[in-house]
Copies of this chain bind each other. A is one copy, B any other.
Amino acid sequence: MFVLDLIGVFFFAVSGSLLAARRDFDIVGSVMLASLVGLGGGVIRDLVINQGVPNAFQQPLYVVPPLLAALAVYLHVFGVRRLRRTLLLFDAGGLALFCVTGTLTALESGMGAVTSVLLGLTTAVGGGVMRDVVANEIPQVFQPQGIYAIPAVAGAALTSLLWNLDWFNVVTGSAVAALVFTARGLSLRHRWRVPLAGRAGSGGMP
């Protein structure tokens, strides 16, 4: 599970470094943004669980994925074209892994089935919200292109269900993450939409 968590950190970190590149931040800003998005959600999760110092500040290994991500983006490992699309894919990978590992951490700390789902969702979307807010963009969870929170909450709920049935293991956990990733990816490709917040589209009204 620790490895899955680190991979999730790396995915989110790449999304942060790609956004840093798009915004012409320098490489130090790239490391900082990668760390914020990669570690931010987990720190919130650990603060809520309230069992000692958050993992990211206990285990120095957590700084490796952001450093690697910033280096990879600097070297154009993921190409320079279609940065935005690549960013969305890595973000989806982080979302998929964190809704599983976040929910699991909550369950293992003794939280209930429903509240663990909420904390898993918070973990999954929290880092990305911070990334977009500091880069002055509307966070993806609020952008009506594709679906974002729905696959995350579904993945968290599945994780909670599997865990309570004692069916949760690395294989089923990875399958849930793969499902979440696929749903998010399909929703972007086929531009799935859900209804707007106000029925008749009241946007722009005073």
**Residues in B whose Cβ lies below 8 Å from that of A204:** 22, 24
Chain B, residue nearest A140 (CB): B29
- Residue A190 at the chain B interface, CB threshold 8 Å: no
Contact B196 A142 (CB under 8 A): no
**Residues in B whose Cβ lies below 8 Å from that of A136:** 136-138
- Residue A119 at the chain B interface, CB threshold 8 Å: yes
Least CB distance, A200 to chain B, in whole angstroms: 7
Contact B134 A205 (CB under 8 A): no
- Residue A175 at the chain B interface, CB threshold 8 Å: no
Least CB distance, A56 to chain B, in whole angstroms: 8
Least CB distance, A117 to chain B, in whole angstroms: 9
Alpha-carbon separation in the docked complex, A60 to B26 (Å): 39
Q: Which of A108-160 contact B (CB under 8 A)?
A: 111-112, 114-115, 118-119, 125, 129, 133-139, 141-144, 147-150
- A21-B196, A32-B141, A48-B53 known; A118-B203 Cβ under 8 A: no
Number of copies: 3
Chain B, residue nearest A193 (CB): B26
**Residues in B whose Cβ lies below 8 Å from that of A81:** 205-206
Contact B53 A206 (CB under 8 A): no
- Residue A13 at the chain B interface, CB threshold 8 Å: no
- B-binding segment of A2-10, A68-76, A89-97: A68-76
Q: Which of B27, B74, B82, B129 contacts A134 (CB 8 A)?
A: B129
Least CB distance, A81 to chain B, in whole angstroms: 7
Contact B139 A198 (CB under 8 A): no
Q: A22-B203, A53-B115 are in contact. List 16 more A-B contacts (CB 8 A).
A: A21-B202, A26-B144, A26-B196, A27-B194, A29-B197, A50-B50, A53-B111, A57-B118, A60-B112, A60-B115, A76-B200, A80-B200, A80-B205, A83-B202, A134-B138, A136-B137
